[in-house]
Structures are given as structure tokens and as C-alpha cells.
Amino acid sequence: MKCQQCEKPATFHITELTGEKPHELHLCEQCAQTYLSQNPSGGMPIQPSLAGMLHQQLKVTDTAKELAKLDEQACPICGITFYEFRNQGRLGCPHDYTCFGSELDPLIVNIHGDNIHAGKHPKHHRQTSQQQTQLIQLHNDMKVAIEKEDYERASQIRDEIRKIEEGQE
């Protein structure tokens, strides 16, 4: 479904309950933010936009120059820049939680009121976050090796992946 205000996909579905009967709005994240900021008391408050929250948080903590520098920062594993994350509201890989940690952590507290998981843990889980990052890296390397038709290297990498997955060394 497209945003009612622009061409982007609508990700916010707002039900307005102030009028005589409920009124529906379908907006993208940006238009929803604009809409909600124009209607501070009216309507149903919904989950605030991620981009909006980050924007606010960054405004108070960083100068324009620092922000520009931050925007250029990229994840060494998946290549996503902080700017791309800020714009799309979606992360590129599990490692982003570590490499953008100092910016993400306050955002996570903002959203959830907490930053420590209290729920279930995978029963068979054997890897640390670091090993998981290594897994993605090895996977990328294997793809490159296969592209280069270096099958010996690819099979070495496959063994390394298997070792980590099976929880050995």
C-alpha cells in the first residue's frame, strides 16, 4: 500500500478517533511523523517513528559536524552506513548492534525502556556475538572464493563455519 501523501510504501496505519467516526490514514514513516507532530493532542498517539526518535536523540547529543561523520560510519560486515540505517530504520546485519552500539543503545532504551533481555535463550546456542560476526564474515569470504572458483579455499572456509556452528573451538 502506498503512502497517502507520497509515493513511498505506507508503514504507518493510523486510526483517528477524534471525529464522529474513526478515520484511517496510511502513511510512510516520514509523513506519519509530520502528521503526528502537527496533531500533538488530536488523534491516537501511535508508536513514535524510529527515524524521528533517532533524529531527536542525535540533535541533543551531536553537532552537525559530528553527525555528518557519524552518518559516514559503515559496518565492516554488511557495509550499511549509519545514514542508511537512519533513513530506512532497518539494520543491515546482527553486527550493527555492536558497531553502532553507542548510538543504538540510547535508542533502544528510548523504545523499550530497557536494554537487557529478560526472555528466553536459545537452548542450543553456543556462539558468542563475536563468533556470529565471524560467521557472516566467513560466509562472505566463501562467496568470494566460489566466485573465483577457488574451491579449495571455499571448502576450508566451509569447515571453519561448521566448526563454529557445532560449537567447537
Partner 1 sequence: MRGSGPESDIVISSRIRLARNLAEFPFIRRCASQDRKSIEKMVHDRLQAIPGFNTLYYLRVDELAHVDRQFLTERQLISREHAEAEGARSVAIDNDERLSVMINEEDHLRIQVMKSGLDLTSAWNQINEVDDQLESKLSYAFHERLGYLTACPTNVGTGMRVSVMLHLPALVITNQIEKVFRSLQKINLAVRGLYGEGSQAMGDFYQISNQITLGKSEEELIGQVSGVVPMIIEYERKARDFLITQNREDLHDKISRAYGILCTAQTISSEETMHLLSSVRMGVNLGLIDDLAISDINKLFVETQPAHLQKLRGNELDTAGRNIERALYLRRYLQDRGKEHRDERN
Q: Are 67 and 90 in contact (CB under 8 A)?
A: no
Q: Are 53 and 111 in contact (CB under 8 A)?
A: yes
Pairing of the two strands 12-16 and 23-27:
antiparallel
- Using the rule CB under 5 A, which residue among 58, 95, 104, 133 binds Zn ion? 95
Q: Are 5 and 37 in contact (CB under 8 A)?
A: no
- Choose between 65 and 100: whose C-beta lies nearer to partner 1: 100
- Choose between 67 and 93: whose C-beta lies nearer to Zn ion: 93
Q: How far is Cα 139 from Cα 162, in angstroms, rounded to an integer?
A: 11
Question: Can you give the binding site for partner 1, defined by CB under 8 A?
Answer: 1, 4, 13, 15, 17-18, 22-24, 26, 44-47, 50, 77-80, 88-94, 97-98, 104, 107-108, 111-125, 127-129, 132, 135-136, 138-139, 143, 161, 165
Angle between helices 29-38 and 50-61 (to 10 degrees): 70
111 binds, among partner 1, Zn ion, none (CB under 5 to 8 A by kind): partner 1
Site for Zn ion contains 32 (CB under 5 A): no
As measured in angstroms, the least distance from the Cβ of 44 to Zn ion is 19
Q: Where along the sequence are the contacts to Zn ion (CB under 5 A)?
A: 3, 5-6, 8, 28, 31, 75, 77-78, 92-93, 95-96
